[in-house]
Amino acid sequence: MSDKARDLCKARVAGRISRREFGKRITALGIGAAAADGLLQASYTRAMAASFDWMKYKGTTVKLLLNKHPYADAMIADLDAFRALTGMDVKYDIFPEDVYFDKVTAALSSRSSQYDAFMTGAYQTWQYGPAGWLVDMNEYLHDAGKTAPDYDFEDMLPNLRASDSWSGVPGAPLGGTGAKQWAIPWGFELYSISYNRNIFDQLKITPPENLPDLIEKATKITKDAGGPYGVGVRGSRSWATIHPGFLSGYTNYGARDFTVADGKLKSAVDSAESKAFHELWVKMIQEAGPKNWATYTWYQVGQDLGAGASGMIYDADILGYFMNGAGNKEAGHIGYTPIAPNPEAKGPTSNIWIWSLALSNFSNAKDAAWYFIQWATSKQHDMFGARKKDLVDPVRASVWADKVFQDRIAGSYPGYLETYKATAPDAKIYFTPQPLFFNVTTEWAAALQRMVAKEVAVSEGLDQLAATINRELRDAGIG
């Protein structure tokens, strides 16, 4: 690298020149965009190293447990930068998602020191954290000797930071008083509509704006599109059926999962708002959902959209993103739109899923593992993943504001950024944190299946569900 190019990179990293200015001047030096990007990345790494003793744990090896996910792929692709920065080595075990959390739970519950850090979701930390299996990251975040000065935790979207922290008191708000930071957000997803633009154009319909509108348009697709069904949503007997579009719409109708009074929880699934929403949701699936809805998980919902078998999905924005990629029949035909299911609502209220990194309490190299988590959730790596890989949605505000990332997404995924911007402000975890999360949501999914199969009327089914949940809460001493 010439001295001039090096000086330019230094100036850009220090924020003395704009990205546009940097681009113009580096091009004038005869350096192509890809090479310039590489030089800049290396400068960022050097800048990080200069401001903090990243080499403190040189020679240490950190072992990770990862889920097979594009976010993990993005991180693996950038591991050499971490090795160069810290002199540490990283080993990882990567398992398919179907079995991933079984592996995590087995490793933690057996107090295994095999893994130092691992990927997790926020809901899982409600079990792992209070059980004493995780390290409270506040210990590190508030220690200037252990956290780099430019780490900038505040740059992470506030709702994400809060969603990964909880006091462990059932019903206490996420990120509230006494909350422990059980995990650090790394990449996330929110819930909106991804639709097949060809089908919508063919039927001359516009993207849905609310749930009644969605039902009408989805029913039209099922009737008139010549094969594809209207809308794909998850339906298997699992918590994963409840947390995406379903809970986002449920919240938008003003319904909550629990009411909390005097530290005791009471199910609120039998409320009037809940019943109104369930009636519509059940009708939507009956009239315009997939035939085998009760078996549908993330995979089937996405696959149908990618293969042109469904007109739209109400699921993760990143699922629509992946289905727009090469290898799918409908690649390049997927559009994105925000949705506020309740016509009376001010805007969308999306629930979220956050892939986060957590530190095992049984690790023998906690401080070194924190260095890894710190790097993996840093601006530099978040930027790398967002610009060059599929780390969408990134967790940092500065990365969302990055022009290179925005241009990349706007060019290949039209409508994605706009959908994100409209959905993000009120996107957060809308579940009430409590230790019976998986039991309650599985019961909920089972009840939903019975309602869709017309084995029980919606109102009656919800009354029964509320009674079941309340009994479980009482048995656990929290209801």
Distance between CA atoms of residues 115 and 113, nearest Å: 6
Q: How far is the CB of 206 from other proteins (least distance, A)?
A: 25
Minimum gap (Å) between residue 321 Cβ and other proteins: 9
Q: Residue 382: which residues within 8 A CB-CB, separation 6 or more? A: 391, 394, 395, 396, 399
Decide whether 46 or 389 has the Cβ nearer to other proteins: 389
Stretch in the footprint of other proteins (CB under 8 A) among 62-70, 160-168, 394-402, 431-439? 62-70
What's the min distance (Å) between Cβ of 448 and other proteins?
A: 23
Looking at the chain, the number of H-run helices and the number of E-run strands are 23, 12
Taking the complex as a whole, the smallest distance from the CB of residue 110 to other proteins amounts, in Å, to: 4
Asked if residue 325 lies in contact with residue 187, where contact means CB atoms within 8 angstroms, the answer is no
Q: Give the residue, chosen from 4, 16, 24, 68, that forms a contact with other proteins under the rule CB under 8 A.
A: 68
**Using the rule CB under 8 A, is 325 a contact of other proteins?**
yes
Q: Is 93 in the site for other proteins (CB under 8 A)?
A: yes
Among 96, 132, 178, 332, binds other proteins (CB under 8 A): 96
Contact map string, positions 331 to 360, toward other proteins, x by CB under 8 A? x-----------------------------
Could you give the CA distance from residue 160 to residue 355 in angstroms, rounded to a whole number? 10
Chosen residue from 24, 329, 403, 471 binding other proteins by CB under 8 A: 329
| Among residues 29, 35, 84, 307, the one that binds other proteins under rule CB under 8 A | 307
Min dist CB 66 to other proteins, Å, is 9
Can you tell me which of 23, 87, 308, 435 binds other proteins, judged by CB under 8 A? 308
Instruction: Count the neighbouring beta carbons within 10 Å of the beta carbon of residue 80.
Output: 11
Looking at the Cβ atoms of 298 and 438, the one nearer to other proteins is 298
What's the CA gap between 198 and 204, in Å, rounded? Answer: 10
Using alpha carbons, select from 192, 236, 196, 239 the residue that is nearest to residue 218. Answer: 196
193 contact partners, CB below 8 Å, separation of at least 6: 207, 208, 214, 312, 313, 314, 336, 337, 338, 339, 419
Looking from the CA of 474 toward its CB, the CA atoms found within 13 Å total 6
Q: How far is the CB of 193 from other proteins (least distance, A)?
A: 19
Between 95 and 153, CB nearer to other proteins:
95
Residue 283 C-beta: closest distance to other proteins, Å: 25
* Contact call for residue 289 and other proteins (CB under 8 A): no
Stretch of 26-34, 233-241, 327-335, 399-407 lying at the interface with other proteins (CB under 8 A): 327-335
Number of residues this chain uses to bind other proteins (CB under 8 A): 42
Tell me the torsion sign for CA atoms 160, 377, 153, 374: positive
Query: What's the rounded Cα separation, in Å, for the pair 39 and 436?
Result: 49
φ and ψ of 4, to 5 deg:
-65, -45
**Binding pattern for the stretch 225-244 against other proteins, x by CB under 8 A and - elsewhere:** --xx----------------
Q: Which stretch binds other proteins (CB under 8 A): 45-53, 67-75, 344-352, 403-411?
A: 67-75
Residue pair 232/310 in contact by the 8 Å Cβ criterion? yes
426 CB contacts (<8 Å, ≥6 apart)? Answer: 347, 348, 349, 350
Minimum Å gap between C-beta 75 and other proteins is: 13
Give the separation between CA 331 and CA 321, rounded to whole angstroms: 9
- Asked if omega into 393 is within 30° of 0 (cis), the reply is yes
What is the closest distance, in whole angstroms, from the C-beta atom of residue 328 to other proteins in the complex?
Answer: 6
Total Cβ atoms within 10 A of residue 128: 22
Residue 158 has φ and ψ, to the nearest 5°, of -55, -40
Q: Does 95 bind other proteins (CB under 8 A)?
A: yes
Contact between 223 and other proteins per CB under 8 A: no
Q: Does 7 bind other proteins (CB under 8 A)?
A: no
| Strand duo 310-316 + 229-232: pairing | parallel
Q: Does 112 bind other proteins (CB under 8 A)?
A: yes
131 binds other proteins (CB under 8 A): no
Tell me whether residue 166 or residue 405 sits nearer to other proteins (CB atom).
Answer: 405
Asked if residue 202 binds other proteins (CB under 8 A), the reply is: no
Of the candidate spans 9-17, 157-165, 302-310, 338-346, the one that interacts with other proteins by CB under 8 A turns out to be 302-310
* Element at 352 (helix H, strand E): strand 352-359
Q: Where are the alpha helices (DSSP H) in 182-271?
A: 197-202, 211-224, 239-242, 245-252
What is the binding site for other proteins (CB under 8 A)? 68-70, 73, 93-99, 102-103, 106, 109-114, 227-228, 298-299, 302-303, 306-309, 318-319, 322-323, 325-329, 331, 389-390
